[in-house]
Amino acid sequence: MDQVTLKYLGAGISIVGGALATAWAQSKIGPAAVGAILEKKDLTGIMILLLALPETMVILGFVVAILIIYS
């Protein structure tokens, strides 16, 4: 394999890794958030925030992919 192919492969792996990590984290947070919201309606805003936090892993994976491709 040449260097360009490995560069794009590394960029793809960084995005896929971030997406899989986010999916795993949200699969654990989601049901817990629903249960907590059913018990206390006050926690809705906090639970939405906790569900949004793992999305930063995908964004960081995308940033790493851009850095890999353009370096």
Task: Check residue 17 and give its pLDDT.
Answer: 94
* C-alpha to C-alpha distance for 56 and 71, rounded to whole angstroms: 22
Q: Which domains does the chain have, with CATH numbers?
A: 3-69 (1.20.20.10)
Q: For residue 71, is pLDDT > 90?
A: no
What percent of the chain is predicted at pLDDT more than 70?
100
Nearest to 13 by CA among 66, 65, 69, 50: 65
Mean pLDDT of the chain: 94
Strands (E), 20-65: none
What are 63's two structure tokens?
């940033």
Task: Check residue 52 and give its pLDDT.
Answer: 92
Over residues 49-56, mean pLDDT: 92
Q: For residue 42, is pLDDT > 90?
A: yes
What dihedral do alpha carbons 40, 45, 51, 52 form, nearest 10°?
Answer: 180
**Which residues, 6 or more positions from 69, have their beta carbon under 8 angstroms from its beta carbon?**
7, 8, 11
